[in-house]
Structure 1
Amino acid sequence: MADHHLPGHPPVPLTVRRSARARRISLRISQLDGRVTLTMPNGVPERHALEFAAEKEDWIRSHLEARQSNESVNIGSTIPVEGVELRVEVGTGRNVAVKADVVLVPVNSAPRRLERFLKELARDRLADASDFYSARLGRSYSRISIRDTRSRWGSCSAQGGLMYSWRLILAPPPVLRYVAAHEVAHLNEMNHSQAFWDLVEDIHGPYFQQRQWLRDEGASLHRYRFDG
């Protein structure tokens, strides 16, 4: 894998990678972080991939401009919590608290304290949802872990371990519950066959709206940064 730049103002970073399975040069822009990746078959000169990117420059730049920029969360910011936009304000207590349309955060290390609060809230909500759907399924899971994954919202291991992105706590509750039902269903069906989707609907009910919300809006949950 090599790093290059598409010339211009500003220059666009390009990641060029080879793949034995690739049959042609392909271009992908990550909806999560805007990374531009060129994938090309083995044996194809690298310059061909760079020429391909140059031909697609207008398309690349238009897509990058359309992406939402990252937002550093701090006092005065607005952030969705369980799908509700809350304003971050200074609280007088030691703990983070949600009241009406605000989230109150101790002024010292406010972004980190808020991030920790959201992760703990996500664990609670996802554990409750996982317990609910596993009871409906009649199958228990072994453990739950919460991470900040960028490529998936959840996963289920062969050993019955469930993993979720804590950023699901930013989405509306029905979306979080759908992801929990999706991963719990994998306890029985470790695939995405029709039998799997039938099982998701059996324990969750209709899920099209929640799945579509993640496709349309999910990338925006990754724009919030807590390193201020």
Structure 2
Amino acid sequence: MEPVDSETVVLRPGVLGSEVDCPVRWCRSSRARRVSLRIDARAGAVVVTLPMRTARRAGMSLLATHAAWVMQRLAALAPPLPFAPGVEIPLGGRPHVIRHDPAARGGAFLDGATIVVSGAAEFLPRRVRDFLRAEAKRRIALLAEGHAATLGVKIAAIRLKDTNSRWGSCAPDGTLAFSWRLVMAPGDVLDYVVAHEVAHLRELNHSPRFWAHVERLTPNREKAQDWLRDNGPALLRIG
């Protein structure tokens, strides 16, 4: 998929609705067979995907037809939450306050329910993000190794990504990939996603055998799926 550009489009949700500004990201895809819309929670915009030879006016027509849906979905997004001093962000599902201490050493580290960040203020967002990624890698690796031992499988590697839709994935070569943002979710949610991907090392499908492996590894499936459906998009708005 090739990003084309971004712009603000004026939409009118409903016959009697007033005009509103809508942030739009245009993309072209060689695999797309029709024009489609999706909400990019992280960017707070609607993404319009066009087949390679389709004119932009077709995307505008689809936007106009679904204007009410688009604006409703955008309005329902959680407000963006930056990495900044005094901001409270979740870690393991529990609130932690970011505190800037220029004289401290060690980049960013935990002090109880506080994430202390050292150094110059302009480095704070990157250092918080680096801390969360490192903490995600540590927690995910610990869970994955335990689940892999239970199933008698081997993990080729663990990768961290920052995806918009998939919380985890398993490649045919045994590489597991996870969104680092899962470290902000409750522990039982993280455990479920890790167990889900480790189970794919035995069954690279979603057959009854696969789900039996997941049930063996974690009791958190239904609760975690509900939490990710209801709260997952808000994690994309942090940082």
State if a TM-score over 0.5 links the two structures: yes
Give the structure 1 partner of residue 105 of structure 2.
Answer: 94
Measure the CA separation in 1 of the matches of 2:161 and 2:32. 30
Q: Which residue, 185, 190, 197 being the options, matches 1:171?
A: 185
The higher-RCO structure (CA 8 Å, 6+ apart) is 1
The correspondence of residues 1-228 of structure 1 with structure 2, limited to 5 A, is 6-7=9-10, 8-13=19-24, 15=26, 22=33, 26-38=36-48, 47-91=57-101, 92-95=103-106, 96-108=108-120, 109-225=123-239
Conservation of the 8 A alpha-carbon contact between 2:144 and 2:194: yes
Corresponding residue pairs, total: 224
Conservation of the 8 A alpha-carbon contact between 2:191 and 2:220: no
Measure the CA separation in 1 of the matches of 2:220 and 2:68. 40
> Gaps spanning 5+ residues in structure 1: where?
none
RMSD: 2.6
Cα distance change, pair 50–72 in 1 and its aligned pair in 2 (3 A): same
Measure the CA separation in 2 of the matches of 1:144 and 1:41. 34
Cα distance change, pair 90–181 in 1 and its aligned pair in 2 (3 A): same
Measure the CA separation in 1 of the matches of 2:82 and 2:155. 35
Fraction of identical pairs, as percent = 34
Normalising by structure 2, we get a TM-score of: 0.81
Amino acid at match of 1:148: D
Cα distance change, pair 149–14 in 1 and its aligned pair in 2 (3 A): closer
Measure the CA separation in 1 of the matches of 2:32 and 2:104. 56
Amino acid at match of 1:220: A
Q: Deviations over 1:141-181 (max 9, x none)?
A: 11111222223111111111111111111111111111110
Measure the CA separation in 2 of the matches of 1:111 and 1:14. 25
Measure the CA separation in 1 of the matches of 2:88 and 2:20. 31
Measure the CA separation in 2 of the matches of 1:112 and 1:60. 32
Cα distance change, pair 197–35 in 1 and its aligned pair in 2 (3 A): farther
Measure the CA separation in 2 of the matches of 1:83 and 1:20. 38
> Gaps spanning 5+ residues in structure 2: where?
11-18
Normalising by structure 1, we get a TM-score of: 0.84
Measure the CA separation in 1 of the matches of 2:22 and 2:219. 47
SS at match of 2:204: coil
